[in-house]
Amino acid sequence: MVEIPAQDIRKWVSDLLKSGKFVVLSTITGYQEGDKIFLLYHFATKDGMVDVRSSVPLAGPKIDSISNVLPGAILYEREIHDILGVSFEGIPDNRRLILPEDWPDGVYPLRKDYPATRGEK
Amino acid sequence: MSNTTTPEKKTVKKQSKLAAKLAGWSRIKSPWIIHFNAGGCNGCDIELVAALTPKFDVERFGVLLKGTPRHADILVVTGPVNEQIKSRLKRIYDQMPNPKFVIAVGACACSGGVFKGCYNSLGGIDDVLPVSAYVPGCPPRPDAIIQGVYALLNKLKKGE
Amino acid sequence: MNERIILPIGPQHPLLKEPTHFKLTVEGEKIVDADIRLGYNHRGIEKAAEDRTYVQDLYMIERICGICSHVHATNFVQATEELMHVEIPARAKYLRVIVGELERIHSHLLWLGVAGHEVGYDTLFMVSWRDREVVQDLLELITGNRVNYGMNTLGGVRKDLTKEQIDEVLKGLKVLEDRTRYYAKVALEETTFVARVSGVGPLPKDVAISHCAVGPTARGSGVDYDIRRDAPYAAYNEIPFKVITSDRGDVLGRTIVRVLETFEAINIIRYALEHLPEGPISIKVPRKVAAGEAESRYEAPRGECIHYVRSNGTDKPDRVKVRAPTLANLTSIRYTLMNQQVADIPIIVAAIDPCLSCTDRTQVILAQADSKRSENLSWGELRRRCVTKKPL
């Protein structure tokens, strides 16, 4: 597990890719803890997983997108944008990924203030 | 102008009654179904498609899986409906010619199944369409699905 | 000036598949750009998992997908067992492998039938699904259900194998092996099938890696990565097997990988049955899980599936994250569709073996320059035109 500050993520990923080693991004996990949203990048290499953790404040969640250095990251970033409300600066495509078309803006289901179970009708 | 039915009108009435009977008979003997996956896990859908394959072979009963709702008598729905797909499901139903029937296959289509309570799942297709038959199971075997279709047809036969 | 044609293909279409919506815009016969949109199968499982206990979650997560249910169940259980710091008995690990590989065989045969149907080869569809029933019967014999096996529990597995069941499985495997040899011959040598898939949907190795493709989609382009060998889980570190790759990079390459993987799966099951260790099949585990985080990866029939679980000391997880393999392969679909013919769309999309219930609905919008003519095609109509190769 590697912890790096949010502003360094793009450079860190670029350096990793430039190293020439075999690297595939498995996914990006987003989760909220208290007043922060954590982003966990799961990289798979031939020597095992390299997990990179960054955090952004809940009040203004913004981080650089890594999709321009690693095209395979785009769907994972869009998903986190959709369900957690994190903004990825420089992301080439910012549309909704999985929530319905008429889902209200500003409502992020994976944040802790959203109920996990739908009430009975 | 006479108020009683003329011989021509009587013949026409008899013919349309016969046609209706014929249509009803062929509907029961050879129901054409259309399948719609309303956001399910695929388990029920695969079992439904497996019913076409040589081991179960519904085609020998006259059941054909059609590609368009305009040719179908029965709409077979699987999966827990979600908000996004609700309107598409209704549209498919509206495109079917009358009389039409709906079969809910699988626990999810019947009542939401294991996904009842998830934020994007409704509780089964009852809220969206009038259901004629329910086939429970997770997923129901192809035999159970075939039996469900036939239970519906028997009900129709008795109703006529 | 070229005419642009828009083909919206609705979420309802004849055979199999989840609600999929395609909106294609093409220039003549060529696809010039592609777009991906998801959403129909989204149920809200990750969030609901936070409100249910680990055991309840196990049964819900198993039903993320009806084709690879054992994948999700095992992956979740492995992550949770790591959080609990427990080591499950060796026999349980082997039993998980046996059910997992049987699932791989059924999934690849299913795919072969679907691929056959997409290129208009319906006989292959009927015959491969008939033989797939052999695997379904074996799975029902061992676990009690054809789909959603319920084999796993926290701490091991729920059902053991008797001597009679082992003999039945070995008999079934012999039948499967003969039939798969026949399919290998058809898929790799039958000229009409090969002509439809050879050179179609090319994905170069470096693009596969930069687009983070996984599974047979990546291995069909020469990427030599398989979780079972490179990060072994369950009993894979004790079972010898080959990782299949192909340097072709087209749909035929992906077909070769899947067919040969079926043979390997049969061998793995045989080895596991012959070397099945004695002992218990599960151990008791605590109800509350100590705070922590764990991830688990599994080589599903479609590629790498990763689960990540965070616990907070209670009997309910804090966060469950699932990334199923098809999402990883979707980015590469756009690349493989570029400059390809419209007639090849079904087989190219089918070549990543999309399991959208694992992923979500796809809306493919292929967009291009300027024109006005538009045409609505259903998926069935598109497939029909692909079979007859009728120009638009």
Helix C90-118 to helix C379-388 angle (10° resolution) is 70
Question: Among A39-48, C278-287, C359-368, C381-390, which is the least confidently predicted range?
Answer: C359-368
C64 vs C390, residue with greater confidence: C64
Measured CA angle at C322 (ends C320, C324), to 5 deg: 170
> DSSP code of B98?
S
Query: pLDDT per residue over C114-149, tens digit each?
Result: 888 878 888 888 888 888 999 999 999 999 888 888
With contact defined as 3+ CB pairs under 8 Å, the chains touching A are B, C
Average pLDDT over residues C209-227: 91
How far is A33 from chain C, CA to nearest CA, in Å? 9
Looking at domain B32-159, its CATH architecture is 3-Layer(aba) Sandwich (3.40)
At B134 the three-state DSSP class reads strand
Q: Which positions ≥6 away from B45 have C-beta within 8 Å?
A: B35, B37, B78, B79, C16, C17, C18, C66
Please name the residue of chain C whose CA is at the shortest distance from the CA of residue B38: C19
Q: Looking at the domain that runs over C45-194+271-322, which CATH code has it been given?
A: 1.10.645.10
Residue contact B41–C19, C-beta within 8 A: no
User: Any idea of the CA torsion for C189, C192, C194, C197, to the nearest 10 degrees?
Assistant: -160
The answer to whether residue C26 scores a pLDDT higher than 80 is: no
Amino acid at B73: D
Average pLDDT over residues C234-256: 91
Query: pLDDT per residue over C303-314, tens digit each?
Result: 999 999 999 989
Split at pLDDT 50, 70, 90, the class of C6 is low
Candidates B32, B34, B37: best to mutate against C (most CBs of C within 10 A) is B37
pTM as predicted: 0.86
Look up residue A53 and give its two tokens. 């953790």
How far is C75 from chain A, CA to nearest CA, in Å? 14
CA-to-CA distance for A78 and A76, rounded, in angstroms?
5
pLDDT at C16: 40
Amino acid at C222: G
Residue contact C42–A98, C-beta within 8 A: yes
The answer to whether residue C332 scores a pLDDT higher than 60 is: yes
Q: Which positions ≥6 away from C171 have C-beta within 8 Å?
A: none
User: Do the Cβ atoms of C99 and C159 come closer than 8 Å?
Assistant: no
pLDDT along chain A (121 residues), means of 10: 89 89 90 91 90 91 90 89 90 81 83 75 39
Average pLDDT over residues C67-87: 92
pLDDT at C89: 94
**Domain map of chain C by residue range?**
4-41+338-388, 45-194+271-322
At B33 the three-state DSSP class reads strand
Task: Quote the ipTM score.
Answer: 0.91
Split at pLDDT 50, 70, 90, the class of C364 is very low
| CA contacts within 13 A on the Cβ side of C168 | 14
* Domain A2-89 in this protein, CATH class: alpha beta
- Which residue from B82, B117, B123 is facing A117, i.e. has the nearest CB? B117
pLDDT at B26: 75
pLDDT at C106: 92
Candidates B81, B84, B86, B121: best to mutate against A (most CBs of A within 10 A) is B84
B63 vs C22, residue with greater confidence: B63
Question: Among A48-62, C40-54, C337-351, which is the least confidently predicted range?
Answer: C337-351
Q: What is each CA distance from A121 to A75, A108, B19, C62, in whole angstroms?
A: 33, 22, 44, 26
At A27 the three-state DSSP class reads strand
- Which residue from B37, B50, B67 is facing C378, i.e. has the nearest CB? B67
pLDDT at C11: 55
Instruction: Give the DSSP H or E segment for A4.
Output: none
User: Do the Cβ atoms of A87 and A61 come closer than 8 Å?
Assistant: yes
Residue contact A24–C48, C-beta within 8 A: no
The sign of the dihedral angle between the CA atoms of C269, C272, C278, C282 is negative
Mean pLDDT, chain C, as a whole number? 82
pLDDT at C142: 92
Q: What is each CA distance from A114 to A83, A109, B98, C44, in whole angstroms?
A: 11, 5, 43, 12
pLDDT at C39: 67
How far is B24 from chain C, CA to nearest CA, in Å? 25
How far is A121 from chain B, CA to nearest CA, in Å? 9
Residue contact A121–B120, C-beta within 8 A: no
Average pLDDT over residues B93-113: 89
Split at pLDDT 50, 70, 90, the class of C156 is very high
